Amino acid sequence: MSETEGPLYKLPLESYQPSITYANYISTKQMIEQVLNEDQEYLMWKLDNKRLGGNMREYMEDFKNELESYENMEWHRKPQTTSQSPNNHNKVAKKQNWELNRIPSNSVFARDIYEQKINNMPRPRELDETELKKLFMSRLDEEQMNRYEVFKRTSLAKNQIKKISGVVTNQTVANNINLLLGGVGKIFVGEIVEKALDIKEKWLLGLALNRFDERKKISAYLKKHLKKLTRLVERSDSEDSYNDINDSVEESEAESVDTDDEAEKKFMKASNDLLQAQNNVESVRKGLIKQYNILVTKFNSLDVSVEKYKNSPLLPEHVHEAWRLYRIENHTLPSGQYRNQGEANGLMFR
């Protein structure tokens, strides 16, 4: 076998018989499943961290323990079946449906556990602003400290703030008002940037999920090609070995082509023709090896990890999406019919 970068190896076109055995098919199949399982665990971990970020993760275990206590509650138990008339059976069924669909009065949610533990924590004496700032600075790690220093030193251009305030108000604005507008604008820009970073992370997770789905699809093609090739090679040596390969992989089943890419359509058509071929000839075997090696290259090139994009810059698309979500969440964009009231000049809410 020739060495390639990735978990799978390519097959040689010449003298391929020693490399294509039933044991090699089983080991390759297990390797593919192992890679897919590792990718799935990684994505589940990333999604779990995204959904339950911060301190809420520490309290979810308590929430799970609370859920386990509900198993012994009366409303959760199934009623015992007894001999009764049809009318009584309908009444019991209606009562049971009502009990199953209602929300228990003693339900406990994760947020309730979090707030309860926060309230039960001992309260120290009230700190002044200087002590609070010192405590805040001592709790920051290196990355957070760098971000805090950059944010503290960054400021909006004063001439641009003065220009915008003058255009909006149509009059000269005092310097202290412009300084206040600069501080408010700085906080606003920080919120937009934070939301844009969150959107970038979500889009990267979406990209990773798409790559995982593509890798699963390619893995199915790999198993079919390798099983078909193994059967053809083993058939020429021993008929018994050919009959030993029994698993859930249907190598003769044609794959559907749901793409508009002409090169991909051509590749899938060639693969389907080779998988459905009945003749055990050298051209079919080498054709399967070529198709298999192409699939191996695609499989190895797909990487679901998004850690290397962690420090990638923000794109304009991220900022545009953050601004759109910010307007929706804060309801700061009135509809056109309200902006055009009065003299229909759009100045009603300015």
Are 240 and 222 in a shared domain? yes
Are 231 and 273 in a shared domain? yes
For the cut 90, the answer to whether the pLDDT of residue 317 exceeds it is: yes
Q: Please identify which residue in the block is written with the tokens 């297990």.
A: 30
Distance, CA of 228 to CA of 216 (rounded, Å): 19
This prediction has a pTM of 0.66
Please report whether residue 9 resides in a domain: no
Q: Give 78's pLDDT tier (boundaries 50, 70, 90).
A: very low
Distance, CA of 213 to CA of 190 (rounded, Å): 35
Are 180 and 289 in a shared domain? yes
Domain range enclosing 292: 174-334
Are 286 and 161 in a shared domain? no
pLDDT-wise least confident of 217-226, 309-318, 323-332: 323-332
Which carries the bigger pLDDT value, residue 203 or residue 76?
Answer: 203
Are 186 and 262 in a shared domain? yes
Distance, CA of 230 to CA of 280 (rounded, Å): 11
Please report whether residue 275 resides in a domain: yes
Q: What is the mean pLDDT of residues 260-267?
A: 82
Which carries the bigger pLDDT value, residue 26 or residue 99?
Answer: 26
Please report whether residue 97 resides in a domain: no
pLDDT at site 342:
47
Are 272 and 251 in a shared domain? yes
Distance, CA of 82 to CA of 178 (rounded, Å): 79
User: pLDDT by residue (tens digit) across 274-288?
Assistant: 888 888 888 888 888
Q: What is the mean pLDDT of residues 310-329?
A: 89
CA-nearest of 44, 5, 4, 50 to 304 is 44
pLDDT at site 240:
46
Q: Give 347's pLDDT tier (boundaries 50, 70, 90).
A: very low
Which carries the bigger pLDDT value, residue 249 or residue 26?
Answer: 26
**Spatial CB neighbours of 342, under 8 Å, sequence gap ≥ 6:** 348
Distance, CA of 285 to CA of 65 (rounded, Å): 57
| Buried/exposed code over 128-138 (b: 16+ C-beta within 10 A; e: otherwise) | eeeeeeeeeee
Select the highest-mean-pLDDT range: 245-249, 265-269, 300-304. 300-304
Query: Do 36 and 216 touch, CB atoms closer than 8 A?
Result: yes
Q: 3-state class of 195 per DSSP?
A: helix
User: pLDDT by residue (tens digit) across 36-47?
Assistant: 999 999 998 888
- Considering its fold, how many domains does the chain have in total? 2
